[in-house]
Amino acid sequence: MTTPVNVAVLAAGLGKRMHSALPKVLHPLAGRPVVAYVIDAARSLSPRAVVVVVGHGADAVRQALAASDISFALQDPPRGTGDATRIALAALPADGVTLVTIGDIPLVPPEALARVVAGAREGRLALLTAKVPDPRGLGRIVRDAAGRVRAIVEERDADDAQRGIDEINTGVMAAPTALMKRWVNALAPDNAQGEYYVTDIVAAAVAEGVPVVAELAADEREVRGINDRAQLVAVERIVQERRAAALLRDGVLIVDPARVDIRGPLTCGRDVRIDVGCVLEGDVRLGDGVTIGPYCVLRNVTVGAGTAIEPYSYLVDSAVGEQCRIGPYARLRPGATLADEVHVGNFVEVKASTLGRGAKANHLAYIGDTTVGSGVNYGAGSITANYDGANKHRTVIGDHASIGSNCVLVAPVTVGEHATIGAGSVIAQDAPAGALTVARSRQVTVQGWQRPVKPSKE
């Protein structure tokens, strides 16, 4: 049997450089908290236990990450990564090997974690290191003349020669749990920041003659830490590039991979085309042949095959059927459910309503809390008056009804099947099926009326 693995994720730090009320590790990266990526990578090790050390914004972090396979340990106050590791170890099983990772390196690949764990299983202290073009602010890997790792020196404690080292500590290490525990308990905060540094266990291992192995990350971009907003958005670009590349590989036409943002699970059928400037958030499902025009925002939306979402449309918590045409400039609010072949045109807003097959609302309209039958034509400028200032009421429009332009349907109200509502009507009572209902004042012509004339200037 292989040695069991425990994982400690350090996520208690202040994240001062974010200048944010939100704990640093909860900042969203492609729609998910930064630390969630690290936890997913840790899960790939099939660990026996995962403990997340929380402190700053502890409740928010606990809530965001709550899962049956994760426990939390509180570090208060934050006294450094060594102190956080000590607290984690106290909450983890005492045997096996323990992998410690900082919580702010979201792209760390599972393969790299596995290499570090393998080193620990051989009784060594294993580190994940990286060669970086700009090592500023990071812990440097100090090696002896024979190339053996001797210590990690933090930027603030480094001398000029050490500052020139381009191999850095990524913040991932693993060792047999018993050894790690002993080293961590013996840490002292004698450094420039007066903190307990987990990185000091390297020198402790060297002093005891325990071999230290440095596993070099294949790509330094994958182990970038997130400490400030600039680093956050830089890593966001990497994630977005990867997602766009994966979609292109799967046959989705991303018109410009640098101009799309996908912030949640996206599933696409064949021959989907997504134009520039789109933001797809949450769970988005696009059927075969769906096209999304430029600058659309879709959040938790399902779109049926063959449907075109025209430019500048904004769809949230909605379901659109097949062969529909939405937009340009359409707004689908939560609870909009559209059957097949529905047209929702420019400046049309739909909320908590169902539209039957082939229903059309092509221009400047509001449909709220309404059941719209199939084949309904809903005229330009018409609205449902669904709110009386206190309560919302429903409107029901029967199949094949025709609502003229500029009507107000004052809910609760029902328009029967095949009914026609004349333009400009205010419908406050039910309109019967099959008949024309008009509710507007009659047109009059005033004979002999004189248009006023301006007095002459002289």
**Annotated active-site positions, please?**
363
Interface with Ca ion, residue 103, by CB under 5 A? no
Q: Which two tokens stand for residue 44?
A: 């790939």
Q: Give the CA dihedral 349, 352, 356, 360, nearest 10 degrees.
A: -10
CA 224 to chain centre: 19
First to last CA, the chain: 110
Q: Which of 83, 102, 88 is nearest to 172 (CA)?
A: 102
Q: Residue 214 touches which of ligand UD1, Ca ion, none (CB < 5 to 8 A by kind)? A: none
Q: Residue 197 touches which of Ca ion, ligand UD1, none (CB < 5 to 8 A by kind)? A: ligand UD1
Cis check: omega of the bond before 412, within 30 degrees of 0: yes
Q: Provide, rounded to whole angstroms, the least separation between the CB of residue 178 and ligand UD1.
A: 21
Residues 227-256 that bind Ca ion (CB under 5 A): 227
Query: Distance (Å, rounded) from C-alpha 29 to C-alpha 104?
Result: 11
Query: Distance (Å, rounded) from C-alpha 389 to C-alpha 59?
Result: 37
Looking at beta carbons only, is 155 or 317 nearer to ligand UD1?
155
Query: Distance (Å, rounded) from C-alpha 52 to C-alpha 385?
Result: 51
Binding segment for Ca ion (CB under 5 A), chosen from 61-69, 82-90, 99-107, 390-398, is 99-107
β-pairing, 28-29 with 70-74? unpaired
Do residues 169 and 242 lie in contact, with contact meaning Cβ atoms separated by under 8 Å?
no
Phi, psi (5° rounding) for residue 296? Answer: -100, 150
Q: Which of 21, 221, 214, 188 is nearest to 120 (CA)?
A: 214
Residue with tokens 């996206």: 266
Query: Distance (Å, rounded) from C-alpha 277 to C-alpha 288?
Result: 21
Q: Residue 138 touches which of ligand UD1, Ca ion, none (CB < 5 to 8 A by kind)? A: ligand UD1
Per CB under 6 A, residues contacting ligand UD1 are 10-13, 25, 53, 75, 78-81, 83-84, 102-104, 138-139, 152, 154, 168-171, 197-199, 225, 227
Query: Distance (Å, rounded) from C-alpha 385 to C-alpha 398?
Result: 17
Q: Which two tokens stand for residue 84?
A: 């956080």
Q: Residue 402 touches which of ligand UD1, Ca ion, none (CB < 5 to 8 A by kind)? A: none
Q: Provide, rounded to whole angstroms, the least separation between the CB of residue 261 and ligand UD1.
A: 25
Helix (H) or strand (E) holding 90, with range, is: helix 81-90
The residues pairing with 126 across neighbouring beta strands, listed in sequence order, are: 174, 213
Q: Provide, rounded to whole angstroms, the least separation between the CB of residue 156 and Ca ion.
A: 13
Q: Residue 420 touches which of Ca ion, ligand UD1, none (CB < 5 to 8 A by kind)? A: none
Q: Provide, rounded to whole angstroms, the least separation between the CB of residue 71 and ligand UD1.
A: 15
Q: Provide, rounded to whole angstroms, the least separation between the CB of residue 197 and ligand UD1.
A: 4
Q: Which of 15, 33, 225, 293 binds Ca ion (CB under 5 A)?
A: 225
Q: Residue 354 touches which of ligand UD1, Ca ion, none (CB < 5 to 8 A by kind)? A: none
Looking at beta carbons only, is 11 or 51 nearer to ligand UD1?
11
Q: Provide, rounded to whole angstroms, the least separation between the CB of residue 115 and ligand UD1.
A: 17
Looking at beta carbons only, is 170 or 307 nearer to ligand UD1?
170
Looking at beta carbons only, is 156 or 392 nearer to ligand UD1?
156
Q: Which are the contacts of 371, defined by CB distance < 8 A and separation ≥ 6?
A: 353, 354, 394, 395, 396, 397
Q: Provide, rounded to whole angstroms, the least separation between the CB of residue 253 and ligand UD1.
A: 37
Q: Which two tokens stand for residue 326?
A: 């939405």
**How many CA atoms, within 13 angstroms, populate the side-chain half-sphere of residue 195?**
17
Interface with Ca ion, residue 135, by CB under 5 A? no
Looking at beta carbons only, is 223 or 403 nearer to Ca ion?
223
The residues pairing with 223 across neighbouring beta strands, listed in sequence order, are: none
Looking at beta carbons only, is 83 or 215 nearer to ligand UD1?
83
Q: Residue 79 touches which of ligand UD1, Ca ion, none (CB < 5 to 8 A by kind)? A: ligand UD1
Q: Provide, rounded to whole angstroms, the least separation between the CB of residue 155 and ligand UD1.
A: 8
Report how many residues bind Ca ion under the rule CB under 5 A: 3
Name the residue number minimizing CB distance to ligand UD1: 139
Q: Give the DSSP per-residue string, 45-60.
A: T--SEEEEEEBTBHHH
Q: Residue 311 touches which of ligand UD1, Ca ion, none (CB < 5 to 8 A by kind)? A: none
Contact residues: Ca ion, CB under 5 A: 104, 225, 227
